[in-house]
Chain A
Amino acid sequence: MDCKRIEHEEVVEKYLAGRLDRAEREEFEAHYLSCAKCQEELELVRAIQEKLWEKGEELIEETAQPSRTLRVRKAWAFAAAAAGLLMIIGAAVWWQAKGPGRPPAGPQAPPSSWIALARFEPPLFIPPALRDEEDEASQLFRSGMAYYQAGRYGETIPYLRAAARLDPNGAGIRFFLGICLLLTGETAEGIEKLGATISLGDSAYLEEAHFYRAKALLAQMDVDGAKSELRWVLSEGSDLKEEAARMLALIR
């Protein structure tokens, strides 16, 4: 490894961000520990990293307006693109189902309504009554859910992940972790966590896990998967039955 390659491949930033593999890391260390120029560069970027760890969020909060605006614009652009894609695919599915020579199908919901069907309000969380002695997983869950109740879903996730590691059978932990992942755009992992909630078997979160998984699958345009989850909810006759029936009717 030489100075030119280090500069060209942005090795210093990758090194400090922990994005080099072991061999690259060792190669870079062997170089910079005997190269004053690279060590200076490393020290400069290290000082910046330290300050960003310490005050980065404060700096971003202070004046992040332009890029936030950009992000919001991008989010809208993405939503519009997703809506467009859903409509195109929906139209294609509808056209195929209807197809020439086939008998006219029943009333079809416009595919754009799937977007509305896939949306959901964060499920209500009612904190359990405090017990005398809480284990560590419960403490983490409680701390995380305080963020959830404040609408800070991204900040809830690390707590619930840590709680899930400690309590592999905690259905509530997995359910709300799945929900938070969906709410922060990590749809595939959210679906997986809701699936994990379901695979734990009977729990207070079983029906809701099926229901919200159906919505997430619909967001990913997995209509068959969504239908299968909704049928399960219907078969159980829960509070969510009516909403599940309405959704099924619209995506049929």
Chain B
Amino acid sequence: MPNMGPAGWASLAQGVRMRDRASEEELARLFHPHLLALAASRLGDRETAREIAQEAILAVLEALWEGRVREPGKLPAFVVGTGRNMIRDYLRRKGRRPKPLSLGSDDASISDPASGPCETPPLEKKEERDGVFEALRELKPADREILFLTLAKGLSPREIAVEIGLKSETVRLRKSRALKRLRRKLKSLTRKGLLDHI
């Protein structure tokens, strides 16, 4: 996995702009899971989620080919923003609101899109978005770094172990504990309606 700081994202964006096939595939590999997860959680309809994720990837590729991405170092924000816009457009066309995020609920299955509009309105405020940031901030610095290397840089526990000088088993354990803490914290935020921010 390449080092995906702003320079790495800019390099990937540049590769796509140059129609480098490997860069295009890398972009899809990195972002498609994220977009599909985003769409699935908001739409609750697997086929539509697949279509939207696919369309969002294509829209990002087109924007890069045509040089329309102004800050290639912030490629993830552009990709996620594109996905969100497409979901919003879809919901607007269908006259629906997004499916509420239900962390900690006991839902047995994903709701049927035909079952009508969801009740929870979208939450847009900045402080609501910052719930995740604050939860991350409360973690121990080493745990935060492990999560960063895992999720933002895509490193395996073994690679992280080499990077920060811990045993890979310790990395795995700390990551698991950190996620557990975040899960607890974010579930309480969700109950207060602070997480869903489409």
Q: How many Å lie between the Cα of A33 and that of B5 in the bound state?
A: 31
A48 within 8 Å of B (CB atoms) = yes
- A70 near B20: Cβ-Cβ < 8 Å: no
A57 within 8 Å of B (CB atoms) = yes
Q: How many Å lie between the Cα of A248 and that of B133 in the bound state?
A: 55
Partner pick for B186 among A44, A52, A66, CB 8 A cutoff: A44
Nearest CB of chain B from residue A38's CB, rounded to whole Å: 10
- A67 near B141: Cβ-Cβ < 8 Å: yes
A46 within 8 Å of B (CB atoms) = yes
A64 within 8 Å of B (CB atoms) = yes
Q: In the assembled complex, which residues on chain B have CB atoms less than 8 Å from the CB atom of A19?
A: 1, 154, 156
- B33 near A18: Cβ-Cβ < 8 Å: yes
Partner pick for A51 among B5, B29, B40, B132, CB 8 A cutoff: B132
The count of chain A contact residues (Cβ–Cβ below 8 Å) is 57
Q: How many Å lie between the Cα of A154 and that of B1 in the bound state?
A: 14
Q: In the assembled complex, which residues on chain A have CB atoms less than 8 Å from the CB atom of B123?
A: none
B113 within 8 Å of A (CB atoms) = no
Cβ-closest chain A residue relative to B101:
A43
Nearest CB of chain B from residue A44's CB, rounded to whole Å: 6
- A55 near B41: Cβ-Cβ < 8 Å: no
Knowing A60-B144, A161-B11, A162-B15, the reply to whether A44 touches B150 (Cβ < 8 A) is no
The count of chain B contact residues (Cβ–Cβ below 8 Å) is 66
- A48 near B77: Cβ-Cβ < 8 Å: no
B114 within 8 Å of A (CB atoms) = no
- A162 near B183: Cβ-Cβ < 8 Å: no
- B166 near A70: Cβ-Cβ < 8 Å: yes
Nearest CB of chain A from residue B122's CB, rounded to whole Å: 15
Q: How many Å lie between the Cα of A43 and that of B34 in the bound state?
A: 9
Q: In the assembled complex, which residues on chain B have CB atoms less than 8 Å from the CB atom of A40?
A: 101-105
- A158 near B142: Cβ-Cβ < 8 Å: no
Pick from A9-17, A82-90, A233-241 the stretch touching chain B. A9-17
Nearest CB of chain B from residue A228's CB, rounded to whole Å: 31
Q: How many Å lie between the Cα of A39 and that of B36 in the bound state?
A: 11
Chain A, range 124-180, C-beta contacts under 8 Å to B = 136, 140, 147, 154-155, 157-159, 161-162, 165-166
Q: How many Å lie between the Cα of A67 and that of B108 in the bound state?
A: 41
Chain B, range 153-167, C-beta contacts under 8 Å to A = 154-156, 163-166
Nearest CB of chain A from residue B39's CB, rounded to whole Å: 10
B193 within 8 Å of A (CB atoms) = no
Q: How many Å lie between the Cα of A16 and that of B32 in the bound state?
A: 9
Nearest CB of chain A from residue B78's CB, rounded to whole Å: 11
Nearest CB of chain B from residue A26's CB, rounded to whole Å: 11
Knowing A49-B151, A56-B148, A155-B7, the reply to whether A16 touches B37 (Cβ < 8 A) is yes
- A39 near B41: Cβ-Cβ < 8 Å: yes
B107 within 8 Å of A (CB atoms) = yes
- A33 near B14: Cβ-Cβ < 8 Å: no
Q: In the assembled complex, which residues on chain B have CB atoms less than 8 Å from the CB atom of A55?
A: 133, 136
Knowing A18-B154, A43-B37, the reply to whether A53 touches B76 (Cβ < 8 A) is yes
Nearest CB of chain A from residue B7's CB, rounded to whole Å: 4
Knowing A40-B105, A53-B76, the reply to whether A13 touches B142 (Cβ < 8 A) is no
Q: How many Å lie between the Cα of A5 and that of B25 in the bound state?
A: 28
Q: How many Å lie between the Cα of A84 and that of B6 in the bound state?
A: 38
Q: How many Å lie between the Cα of A124 and that of B195 in the bound state?
A: 50
Partner pick for B152 among A33, A56, A74, A136, CB 8 A cutoff: A56
B38 within 8 Å of A (CB atoms) = yes
A73 within 8 Å of B (CB atoms) = yes
Q: What are 13 A-B pairs at a CB distance below 8 A?
A: A19-B156, A33-B49, A36-B105, A40-B103, A59-B144, A59-B148, A64-B145, A67-B142, A71-B163, A73-B165, A157-B3, A158-B7, A165-B15
Given contacts A136-B18, A155-B5, A159-B11, 20 further A-B contacts (CB under 8 A): A13-B150, A15-B33, A17-B155, A33-B110, A39-B37, A44-B183, A49-B34, A49-B152, A50-B34, A52-B147, A53-B77, A53-B80, A54-B76, A57-B6, A63-B141, A67-B145, A67-B164, A154-B3, A158-B2, A158-B3
Shortest 6 CB-CB contacts between residues of A and residues of B = A74-B165, A158-B11, A53-B76, A33-B46, A17-B154, A52-B152
